[in-house]
Amino acid sequence: MNIALVMLTYRPDEPAGIERALASLAAGLRELGHRAVIITAGSRGRDHDPDLLPLTSLAFPRTIPYEEIPGILADTVNIGEEVRRLLREHEIDIVCWGDAVSGLGFLNPAPPGTRTALMVHFPRADEAMRESLAHEPDAVVTVSPFMIDEAARAGLDSSRWHALPNALLCQCDPPGPDVRERLRRTAPVRVVARADPQKGVADLLRALPEHPGRTVQIVLARAGFELWPGLQDQVLQECRELADKLPDVEILSPLAWDEVQAFFAGAAVAVVPSTGPESFGNVAAEALSVGTPVVGFGLGHLPALIGAGGRTVGLGGGHEADGVPALTGPSVRIAEVAERMDALWQATTDLLDDVEAYHAAAREAPLRTVPYSPAVVAGEFLRMMAP
């Protein structure tokens, strides 16, 4: 079959969850013998990649505030005509709108007879989402059971939605037990995040213990979108200024998608300091896949993903039960952040100091991501799309 994935902000190696998830789904579909193309307004192709189809009716700048996207998409007639033409030319059997807005779910420009899927990667119940659902796609696909529950809490009928995890784009073998023990004793704590305030990196640095005992390495990257102009620059500047005052902290350059797992394979532990619920948790999944325990807050899907492969810290500082979110609201109240970050560092220290518990988590970690290979996830997607 021929499958098209639509995400206007898509660029290879974009430090964003939706783009990376679509890339891994496309890789899995190709592994199963299908053709998968990605329709984008953000990339003119890399090395003339024949599977990237850039639109000519519009182009997204490298960094675009969310509030400007509707204006760029105002010419729905020409955009819709070009997308339909591409789908016809490439004889697309299934088209997947990667988002209600940036993935053109609200427009749904599919030729008659083409099966459609709407992907939902973050909680939303706005007009664009309702317009997308009104087109009655053949399947609504989201990334976790948490997201299905969130949609229901927002007043949407999600009873027939499908939960499809994000696949791991690459395969990387976990270090052996002897290497893992050396990592536990001497390796850095590592963090990979987009430059967004809710990723919690600045708050994590402000709460860093006076003598952490090891290096903390943080990869921060700008995405092609932001809530308002200059926000990501503000976050990067704040984190760099904090790091400059901390002798054990390094702010590192962005990584390509295929470098993230190897980076985490050399860590003692991965910390995910997001102060808002993670709809899936790509960073945590990549760390777990290489046997690196993960410590994060008990928010969103993260507790179910980490399980016994690390620790999750609840609202009051205690460990959350597997699969039970501590808070399902949009963000943690500011007054609670400092206390929670202290608890996150304490959980990290406790795990590193407990040899038996650490190695048990390291053994469990890769088992948490066994079902997330691209071919397995792509096969599940195709079953969801079957007539």
pLDDT at residue number 322:
37
The conformation of residue 250, written as its DSSP 8-state character, comes to E
Helices (H), 154-291: 177-186, 201-206, 231-244, 260-265, 282-289
pLDDT at residue number 49:
83
Average pLDDT, the chain: 92
pLDDT at residue number 315:
61
Per DSSP, the chain holds a count of helices (H) and strands (E) of: 14, 15
Q: Which helix (DSSP H) or strand (DSSP E) does residue 273 occupy?
A: none
pLDDT at residue number 46:
52
**Paired tokens of 60:** 């997204």
d(CA 178, CA 169): 27
d(CA 16, CA 371): 22
For residues 284 and 337, the answer to whether their CB atoms sit within 8 Å is no
Angle at 358 between CA 350 and CA 184, to 5 degrees: 85
**Residue 29: strand pairing partners:** none
Task: Please measure the distance between the N-terminal and C-terminal CA atoms of the chain and give it in whole angstroms.
Answer: 14
The conformation of residue 330, written as its DSSP 8-state character, comes to S
Q: 135-160 pLDDT, tens per residue?
A: 999 999 999 999 999 999 999 999 99
Helix or strand or coil: residue 371?
helix
**Paired tokens of 40:** 């984008």
Instruction: Name, in order, each residue with C-beta under 8 angstroms of 375's C-beta and a sequence gap of 6 or more.
Output: 28, 31, 32
**Paired tokens of 261:** 């797992």
| Nearest CA-CA partner of 98 in 170, 11, 34 | 11
d(CA 74, CA 182): 56
pLDDT at residue number 281:
96
Q: 358-387 pLDDT, tens per residue?
A: 999 999 999 999 999 999 999 999 999 998
Q: 333-346 pLDDT, tens per residue?
A: 555 677 889 999 99
d(CA 84, CA 220): 37
Alpha-carbon distances, residue 370 vs 20, 299, 366 (angstroms): 18, 22, 7
Neighbours of 47 (CB within 10 A): 7
The conformation of residue 40, written as its DSSP 8-state character, comes to E
Q: 243-282 pLDDT, tens per residue?
A: 999 989 999 999 999 999 999 999 999 999 999 899 999 9
